[in-house]
Structure 1
Amino acid sequence: MNDYLVRALAFEGSVRAFAVRTTGTVGEAQQRHQTWPTASAALGRSMTAAVMMGAMLKGDDKLTVKVEGNGPIGPMIIDSNAKGEVRGYVTNPQVHFDLNSVGKLDVRRAVGTEGTLTIVKDLGMRDFFTGQVPIVSGEIAEDFTYYYAISEQVPSSVGLGVLVNPDNSILAAGGFIIQLLPGTDDETITIIEEHLNKMEPVSKLIERGLTPEELLFEILGKENVQILNEMPVQFECNCSKNRFGSAIISLGESEIRDMIEEDGGAEAQCHFCMEKYNYSVNELESFIDEINS
């Protein structure tokens, strides 16, 4: 079943909601980066949050999520956009620990409990919007919840989950974001809190086969939800040989001549998708010609 995201309103428009299944998307990231289970859970949760945040954008807008904790996986960088496309990487992908005290992957230990969560939005204007908050738990979902409360001042509940198979492949991944709009009454808030307290972990619900729509029905009550639309979600990288070629040209003639004389060519690798691009001596010499033309 393909990954997709749904947008919804609930309780007569007083609540905004997003839910997504990202099993295949996180699975592709796991394969490309060969992440071990705990690193997979951290990166997968972050990518799931980022793709829902991207769905709140419009047109060609895009954003970058940076999770920079003091744990051994190092910084994670995730890009997403308004089209359901997301890509991401973790600095140290081969990190894994025993399950924590409640039997879950120990994401907090991998990410760390000190550091920052930064969101940079490119809304097509001269300046980017940047919001940054301290990491409050390292479990990712709580950190995004805190980001919304502090940086965007929108009361939100963020749920994220990733289950990993014994062979390191991704069994289930997905999440939700529930946001209270101005004027939400106390009764509605109480209903949502009660449902959140009773529900199973989101990863378990996705493993059981619940769709993104059904996730929202679990949290908000089917009778209260109005599904607005859905959107396919996928791992997508916009790197290319031409883009890396432009980066090599920007290094200047001297650097390129060193590549020719010392290495007999050049190789570039994308951090996000791990794709490699090779440049022959002839190609590098053509870059020099371009610089001097």
Structure 2
Amino acid sequence: MNDYLIKALAFDGNVRAYAISSTEMVAEAQRRHTTWPTASAAMGRAMTASTMMASSLKGQEKITVKIEGGGPVGAIIVDADAEGHTRAYVSNPHVHFDLNEQGKLDVASAVGRDGFLSVVKDIGMRDKFTGQVPLVSGELGEDFTYYLVTSEQVPSSVGVGVLVNPDNTILAAGGFMIQLLPDAAEETIKFIEKRIQNIPPISKLIEQGYSPEEILAELLGEENIKILDKMPVSFECSCSKDRFANGIIGLGKEEVHKMIEEDGEAETVCHFCNAHYHFSKKELTELASQTKV
């Protein structure tokens, strides 16, 4: 099943809801970065939540999420745009722990709890919106929930999950995001809270073949939901050799000539997708001629 995300309203437009299947998107990130299971779960949860958040944007708008909790996985960086394209990396991909007391991958130990989750929204204006909150659990679902409630003042619940196969490949990944709008009735809030408490782990539902529509039905009741949009989501990186070439030009003539003299060539690597770009001596000489200083 190809990954996709749905947007919906529920309870007569008083609840905004999102659900996503992100198995292939997370699997592509795992393949590119060769992450170990706990690192995969941390990165995958962050990607899944960030993709849902970005889906509320428009046009060329995008967000960058950075999570630094002081744990061994280091920083988790996610870029996601309004069209369902997401890319991510972790500083230390080879991190794994035994399962926690709940029998789940111990994401909190990998991420750490002593740090922050920050979001930068690029909505095409000169000034970018930046929000930051301290991590509350390191499990990430709760941390994204806290960010939305605290930084954006939207009562929310975020659930994200990743299951990993014994060979480190991704078995299942997905999530949901429920947001209460100002006119949500107290009985609606209590109904949703009870459903969230009783729903099985989201990754288990994805593993069992639940679609995003069926996940929202489990959470909110099928009769209460109106689907507004369905969009594909995928791992996609915006890097290119031309972009790296521009970066080399930006180093200045002296630095580029130093590359030519010392190595005779250069190779750049994209942090987000692990793509390698080689520049020959001839190409570097041409780039040096384009530098201004």
TM-score with structure 2 length normalisation?
0.99
**Matched ranges for 1:90-105 at <5 A:** 90-105=90-105
Determine the C-alpha separation between the residues in 1 that align with 2:91 and 2:275: 16
Q: 1:266 aligned to 2:263?
A: no
Determine the C-alpha separation between the residues in 1 that align with 2:141 and 2:288: 48
Match of 1:2, SS state, is coil
Determine the C-alpha separation between the residues in 1 that align with 2:277 and 2:136: 39
Determine the C-alpha separation between the residues in 1 that align with 2:98 and 2:198: 27
Match of 1:24, SS state, is helix
- Displacement after TM superposition at 1:261 (Å): 1.1
Match of 1:66, SS state, is strand
- Residues 252 and 292 of structure 2 are in contact (CA less than 8 Å); yes or no, is this contact kept in structure 1? no
CA RMSD of aligned residues (A): 0.8
Partner of 1:189: 189
Q: 1:226 aligned to 2:226?
A: yes
Determine the C-alpha separation between the residues in 2 that align with 1:72 and 1:173: 22
Determine the C-alpha separation between the residues in 1 that align with 2:4 and 2:218: 18
Structure 2 segments unaligned to the other structure (5+ residues): none
- Displacement after TM superposition at 1:80 (Å): 0.3
Partner of 1:106: 106
Residue 256 of structure 1 aligns with an amino acid whose one-letter code is V
Partner of 2:213: 213
Q: Percent identity?
A: 61
Partner of 1:166: 166
Partner of 1:178: 178
Cα offsets for 1:42-62 (capped at 9, x unmatched): 000000001001101001101
Match of 1:284, SS state, is helix
Determine the C-alpha separation between the residues in 2 that align with 1:78 and 1:22: 14
Partner of 1:237: 237
Cα offsets for 1:188-226 (capped at 9, x unmatched): 001101111111000000000000010000000000000
- Displacement after TM superposition at 1:246 (Å): 0.4
Partner of 2:81: 81
- For these two proteins, the number of residue pairs brought into alignment is 293
Partner of 1:281: 281
Match of 2:99, SS state, is coil
Determine the C-alpha separation between the residues in 1 that align with 2:61 and 2:282: 37
Determine the C-alpha separation between the residues in 2 that align with 1:165 and 1:181: 38
Cα offsets for 1:259-290 (capped at 9, x unmatched): 11111100000000000000000001001111
Structure 1 stretches of at least 4 aligned residues deviating more than 6 Å after TM superposition = none
Determine the C-alpha separation between the residues in 2 that align with 1:229 and 1:149: 24
- Displacement after TM superposition at 1:292 (Å): 5.5
**Matched ranges for 1:15-30 at <5 A:** 15-30=15-30
Change (3 A) 1:292 1:130: closer
Determine the C-alpha separation between the residues in 1 that align with 2:21 and 2:229: 15
Determine the C-alpha separation between the residues in 1 that align with 2:181 and 2:279: 52
**Matched ranges for 1:127-146 at <5 A:** 127-146=127-146
